[in-house]
Amino acid sequence: VTAPQGPWRAVEVLDEVDSTNRVLRDRAVDGVEPGLVVVAEHQTHGRGRLDRLWESPRSTGLTFSVLLRPSAPRSSWGWLPLLAGLAVAETLTDHVGLDATVKWPNDVLIDDRKVAGLLVEAVAHDGAVIGIGVNTHLEAEALPTPVATSLILEGAPADAINRASLLTAVLLHLHERMADLDRGPTAEAMAAYRMRCSTLGRHVDITVPGGQRIRGTVADIADDASLVIDVDGHGVRHVAAGDVVHLR
């Protein structure tokens, strides 16, 4: 695998590792330069959001992480996971030909089923690790939950989901959207996220940090990347972090 244009210095392919996010976290502490991409054929302890596990049998997914040093101020880092998810969704449309949406904050869905997840972590030396897991070749019996799917199950053509070519395509889109983040984020990038966000306008159930649950309709995604919720019967509330369930 060769690195495409952009900030990507090198792509390291590992056969087996606990978690590619963990590898880059440690490398960041050691002072490695940003632009490094680490891909794994198999993760033994892939990490998801909220301390969940990201399980994917060997060679059935594209699992990788990148180390970046965004120049955007921390106040706009709320957009980092959102725009990274947008880059993945855009890749699935442009490169694979599937209609993908983003679920706030950063899942990628096809037909309301999760096809990719992202875990973004702030790391040493003003770095950010963006970890991306895409279900490419998972068959129905191997799906981790009934609300998951894979590119092959959605009918993607085999050549488009060759993992090396998919990785190159994601890195190109990620390069562009991370450049948009560093520029503001740009109004175009925020508008593109809102357009593709299937959480917008939905009736949702959100569990916020601390465990409180909120039910309401998503009225907007604010300029600080938080969700604006019309809470059922109780006015408007901004939610900056949480676990969202799309209700029917």
Name the site residues for ligand BTN (rule: CB under 6 A).
Answer: 19-21, 43, 46-49, 52, 54, 63-65, 107, 117-119, 131-133
Our CB check for ligand BTN shows the closer of 51 and 159 to be 51
Question: For residue 153, what are its two tokens?
Answer: 């199950």
CA pseudo-torsion sign 221, 226, 230, 235: negative
What is the nearest approach in angstroms of ligand BTN to the Cβ of residue 92? 15
What is the nearest approach in angstroms of ligand BTN to the Cβ of residue 186? 25
What is the nearest approach in angstroms of ligand BTN to the Cβ of residue 17? 9
Q: What is the spatial distance between Cα 122 and Cα 25, in angstroms, rounded to a whole number?
A: 9
Our CB check for ligand BTN shows the closer of 144 and 184 to be 144
Our CB check for ligand BTN shows the closer of 43 and 226 to be 43
Note the Cα 107 to chain centre separation in Å: 5
- Which residue has the closest beta carbon to ligand BTN? 117
222's CB contacts (< 8 A; 6+ apart) are 228, 238
What is the nearest approach in angstroms of ligand BTN to the Cβ of residue 38? 9
Our CB check for ligand BTN shows the closer of 118 and 218 to be 118
What is the nearest approach in angstroms of ligand BTN to the Cβ of residue 113? 13
Question: For residue 202, what are its two tokens?
Answer: 């939905």
- 14: which strand partners? 40
Helix 79-91 with 163-182: angle, nearest 10 deg: 140
Write out the H or E segment, with its range, that includes residue 173: helix 163-182
Our CB check for ligand BTN shows the closer of 13 and 219 to be 13
| Residue at 72: amino acid letter | A
Our CB check for ligand BTN shows the closer of 25 and 196 to be 25
Query: In terms of Cα–Cα distance, which of 1, 31, 9 is closest to 175?
Result: 9
What is the nearest approach in angstroms of ligand BTN to the Cβ of residue 235? 30
Question: For residue 82, what are its two tokens?
Answer: 């959102």
